[in-house]
Copies of this chain bind each other. A is one copy, B any other.
């Protein structure tokens, strides 16, 4: 007995995959949503996990719980090993899975560029375990700075962040606030003047994708918090203790947090002619993967090149969400025998926060910074967190931290050594 409804398989429960599966509620398709984790996480707040401002459960929510009342959506936690497009088949850690429509929504991963061979010496911020490792490492080093044996080593307290995009500046701001407000209380014996926070950006500006006003204000805010920002500075090497700078000077640090770039994370088996620069999958205006049938890609991993966006759309949550919803609509339209419509991105603006009452917001027609921007940032992020419980907990946590300046607990639940 064959199931009559077409089977839509979505790989990846990020912003794109989730928004797509949600649209399919009670539509005439069977949806299977596969992810290597059993939760969706709110990537834009990952830096808060690293600095202890939020706990993992505040930004992560079980995929199964999101789709509890969706009778035609099933969830599986599995690794997808490859796709065999000629057989409409996925090979996975839980066996072969066949599809009628395949959606690749696998997102992006850290791009180490020329630091790839020494990536194990770097910390990164792409997943919750990554972020918890940063947290453990930072607090282990604060303890080391009090040990007889390591207290005089400059690398123990110094911190380098490589990359001046949103992740880098948000992390730098949070660390600077921690240095100023929390560490002196919990580590009164420590001389925090030995803790230097350096941020290295290869380009001319912080937040290169935002407006000049936003870039300039972010720089001003970070310097005001005591972060040393180095623009036009491409770090050239790292031996685990000293970061080598282009002028051949060194910055001694144990802690190099790499936020310098990401690249697509496609599935093996996608035709190689569809894999383009940045490891992304080339799609047409309908998010259909070039050279395949019934295979689509959305979000960070997908790139539709045109005159307006010669390098594809930016890797942002709203792009993925809009593409997910649009593609789901298109598939339903297609099943009804009607023509699909091309995707168009509606840019609602971008924002970043540097610290308490310090944020920058670029709307299409209005750019502003400061306390009001921070309140807008806060409101948007809390409202975006998936699930009622998460919202309330995040709100309470943030309110408490606002009134006490005291949030990061810095529990070293699992030690981390590189």
Contacts and interface: CB of A to CB of B under 8 A. Distances in A.
Contacts of A65: 186, 409
B76 A409 contact: no
A38 B412 contact: yes
Contacts of A100: none
B62 A129 contact: no
Interface in A389-418: 389, 396, 400, 409-414
Contacts of A37: 412
A64 interface: yes
A251 interface: no
Given A37-B412, A61-B409, A409-B62, A185 B147 contact: no
A95 B38 contact: no
B186 A129 contact: no
Nearest to A65: B186
Interface stretch (A52-60, A297-305, A349-357, A359-367): A52-60
A409 B147 contact: no
Interface string A118-134: 00000000001100100
Copies of this chain in the oligomer: 2
Contacts of A413: 56, 60, 128-129, 132
Contacts of A57: 55, 409, 411
Given A38-B143, A68-B185, A143-B76, A95 B149 contact: yes
A187 interface: yes
Contacts of A1: none
B38 A139 contact: yes
Given A132-B413, A147-B95, A411-B56, A187 B38 contact: no
Contacts of A186: 62, 64-65, 68
Given A128-B413, A411-B57, A189 B74 contact: yes
A336 interface: no
A148 interface: yes
B412 A143 contact: no
A314 B68 CA distance: 45
A146 interface: yes
Interface string A93-119: 111000000000000000000000000
A64 B143 CA distance: 11
A77 B148 contact: no
A412 to B, nearest CB: 5
Q: Which 6 A-B pairs have the closest CB atoms?
A: A94-B147, A95-B148, A64-B186, A77-B143, A39-B411, A38-B412
29 contacts: A38-B139, A38-B143, A38-B410, A39-B409, A39-B411, A55-B56, A55-B57, A57-B411, A60-B413, A62-B186, A62-B409, A62-B411, A65-B409, A68-B186, A76-B146, A76-B147, A77-B140, A77-B143, A78-B143, A78-B147, A93-B147, A94-B146, A94-B148, A94-B149, A95-B149, A129-B414, A132-B413, A389-B400, A414-B414
